[in-house]
Amino acid sequence: MFKKILIVGCGLIGSSVLRGSFNRKISKKIFVYEKSKKNISKIKKINSKVIILKKLNNKISDIDFVILSTPMSQYERIIPYLNKFLSKKSIITDVGSTKQNVLNLKNKKLNKSLDWILSHPISGSEVSGPEYGTKNLFLNKWCIIVSDKNKSKVKKVIRFWKKLGSKVILMDPVEHDKIFSLTSHLPHLIAYNLIKTAQDFQKKHKKNVIKFSAGGLRDFSRIAASNEIMWRDVFFNNRKNMINAINMFIKNLNSFKKNILNLEDKNLRKKLINSKKVRKQIIDLKQDVSKPDFGRE
Amino acid sequence: MFKKILIVGCGLIGSSVLRGSFNRKISKKIFVYEKSKKNISKIKKINSKVIILKKLNNKISDIDFVILSTPMSQYERIIPYLNKFLSKKSIITDVGSTKQNVLNLKNKKLNKSLDWILSHPISGSEVSGPEYGTKNLFLNKWCIIVSDKNKSKVKKVIRFWKKLGSKVILMDPVEHDKIFSLTSHLPHLIAYNLIKTAQDFQKKHKKNVIKFSAGGLRDFSRIAASNEIMWRDVFFNNRKNMINAINMFIKNLNSFKKNILNLEDKNLRKKLINSKKVRKQIIDLKQDVSKPDFGRE
């Protein structure tokens, strides 16, 4: 499909692109640029054919396809290199979790002759690092592509993600950032906040509450173990939608608080019953496993 | 260990007690009282030796041990029957998620000659009904026992849960309700609230956001699919601690909001990094599986 692809940043997502691309023979050659020396030695073990770049420079010519899989806050630093060594035939994509900011950055900083088609694969995990990547990380997962004028290049990016197993959907960047503020960014913030609250409680009452976390807290701790650089970038980049989402959340929580305080049985039960429907939809849409308790233990 | 035990209410927890008791030969005879006809036919299939009671009455004599596993709001209705047909040799326990209210109810309504030792097994799931019970639901899980004057009966209750595989710990009821407001009750409310917020968002923006729930929302939907009667009872019974926990949570969330709004990098990252420690503790304490993403898929 490609002759030379370059993965910039090779953690969980980058190394999954790497493994998936080798496995599906997506490119004749695969280059990786990665800052962390510790990660480089792990990446070399993934496949002996991987070509590690020590620098991003114009000595590597004819790169067809670049996948940026660093934290989003690195993109600005990387663009000048892309401007230098890429040709107008190349395609750039990324895997960032917010899209309006990336689009703005691209419009401001990327050479007009270059094409960057924005992607967002909806797959990830609480673990970070190339050792956790898998060739099937994107299998049956959504990948959002932000539509662009260059139709033939959009098609190529779609083909790439489909080869990795993704279900692809085109989306407007404004809509994207709004939807994912609710389905992904707010849930992560809420998980972080719950764990922070448990830590504060533990300090205040000098009790080991973590010991009894199997009652529900443990689920949140998984999400709250996610990479802090990635999530700082997401929260900052999508801050307008985040603030709206937080406000909606607090409004609803105050309503629950009122229900509890005033023993409003009917109102409370209605909400508790309604949320079951969402679980059913999620399972019907195959967005989660259907086994109770995620099938763990 | 016992001659006759009686399980009152046989859903997920009751049927797990039933299966576990048969499997570990805990009692010569096992009686079940269950209101739902649909459930009764499911319970009969679990083990042909189970004796279904159509009424709670004094025709069944010499019950050694009663386990209340109905929703807590049913206890008050059941106590008069216990007063009628139990002898002072019998032991009563329950599996309720809050303890101060149960203790108060017991002190008010139960005959002084009878002994009720309060239990709270920390095990459950988002699914309800006897068909989901398992003989090992309590294996390696904590079971909290509220200490009581009758030491020999407390010992018997401890032995019972240990036979089912639980790790038993004694706790003061005030402390119990405080700790579990944080580790279990608040997480459940927060999950319900997040799903409610997603539903509101979906209505407002007329978008199918559930479709993209794999980014984090799906985890919360599991917890928010839990039984509404059980959780209404918990929220109402532990309302003082719930309100405190909600207030702490909102305070922290407002602080996160401020960090995001003002791009406070250092403060935000410190919190995001700190929560990783909790995940590590939870895994070290074997409160959750160590596989990324709960090992699902």
CATH label of the domain that carries residue A144: 3.40.50.720
Residue to substitute from A139, A273, A287, interface B, most B β-carbons within 10 A: A287
Pick the residue from chain A with its C-alpha nearest to B123: A215
Rounded CA gap, A28 and A50, in Å? Answer: 10
Decide if A230 contacts A75 (C-beta within 8 A). Answer: no
Pair (A179, A109) in one structural domain: no
Contacts of B201 in chain A (CB under 8 A): 182, 245, 248
Q: Is the pLDDT of residue A156 over 90?
A: yes
Pair (B115, B149) in one structural domain: yes
Q: Is the pLDDT of residue A236 over 90?
A: yes
Say how many Å lie between the first and final Cα of chain A, rounded: 41
Q: Does B266 touch chain A (CB under 8 A)?
A: no
Closest partner residue to A198 (CB to CB) among B212, B225, B278 is B278
Under an 8 A CB cutoff, do B256 and A209 touch? Answer: no
**Which pLDDT value is given to residue B242?**
98
Residue ending a domain, among A111, A137, A171, is: A171
**Burial of B25 (C-beta count, 10 Å sphere; 0-12/13-18/19+):** exposed
Q: What is the mean pLDDT of chain A?
A: 95
Pair (A214, A143) in one structural domain: no
Name the pLDDT band for A90 (thresholds 50, 70, 90): very high
Decide if B182 contacts A209 (C-beta within 8 A). Answer: yes
CA dihedral B279, A94, A86, A77 (to 10 degrees): -50
Whichever domain contains A284, its CATH number is 1.10.3660.10
Under an 8 A CB cutoff, do A192 and B246 touch? Answer: no
Pair (B57, B146) in one structural domain: yes
Rounded CA gap, B8 and B32, in Å? Answer: 6
Residue ending a domain, among B171, B192, B207, is: B171
Under an 8 A CB cutoff, do A279 and B122 touch? Answer: no
Pick the residue from chain A with its C-alpha nearest to B279: A221
B285: Cβ contacts below 8 Å, ≥ 6 apart: A210, A211, A213
Tell me which of A19-28, A52-61, A173-182, A215-224 is least confident.
A52-61
Look up the ipTM and state it.
0.95
The partner residues of B21 in beta bridges, in order of sequence, read none
H runs (alpha helix) in B142-238: 151-163, 173-180, 186-205, 217-223, 228-237
Rounded CA gap, B54 and B35, in Å? Answer: 8
Pair (A167, A187) in one structural domain: no
Domain that holds residue B190: 175-295
Closest partner residue to B260 (CB to CB) among A235, A281, A289 is A235
Inter-chain Cβ pairs, chain A and chain B, closer than 8 A = 333
Decide if B102 contacts B118 (C-beta within 8 A). Answer: yes
Pair (B159, B190) in one structural domain: no
Q: Is the pLDDT of residue A58 over 80?
A: no
Pair (A45, A127) in one structural domain: yes
In chain A, residues 13-52 whose CB comes closer than 8 Å to chain B: none
Q: Does A240 touch chain B (CB under 8 A)?
A: no
Pair (B19, B120) in one structural domain: yes
Pair (A165, A194) in one structural domain: no
pTM of this structure: 0.96
Residue ending a domain, among B147, B171, B195, is: B171
Rounded CA gap, B270 and B250, in Å? Answer: 19
Tens digit of each residue's pLDDT, chain B (297 residues): 999 999 999 999 999 999 999 999 999 999 999 999 999 999 999 999 999 999 998 778 899 999 999 999 999 999 999 999 999 999 999 999 999 999 999 999 999 999 999 999 999 889 999 999 999 999 999 999 997 788 999 999 999 999 999 999 999 999 999 999 999 999 999 999 999 999 999 999 988 899 999 889 999 999 999 999 999 999 999 999 999 999 999 999 999 999 999 999 999 999 999 999 999 999 999 999 989 999 887
**Number of compact structural domains in chain B:** 2
Rounded CA gap, A214 and B58, in Å? Answer: 39
Pair (A26, A165) in one structural domain: yes
Pair (B152, B203) in one structural domain: no
Closest partner residue to A216 (CB to CB) among B223, B236, B275 is B223
What is the per-residue DSSP string for A16-65?
Answer: HHHHHHHHTT-EEEEEEE-S-HHHHHHHHHH-TT-EEESS--TTS----E
Q: Does A232 touch chain B (CB under 8 A)?
A: yes
Q: Which two tokens stand for residue A199?
A: 């830590």
Pair (A120, A150) in one structural domain: yes
- Planar angle of CA A9, A10, A13, nearest 5 degrees: 105
Decide if A16 contacts A137 (C-beta within 8 A). Answer: yes
Q: Does A267 touch chain B (CB under 8 A)?
A: no
Q: Where are the beta strands (DSSP E) in chain B?
A: 2-8, 27-33, 51-53, 65-68, 91-94, 115-116, 119-121, 142-146, 167-171
**Which pLDDT value is given to residue A124?**
84
Pick the residue from chain A with its C-alpha nearest to B294: A296
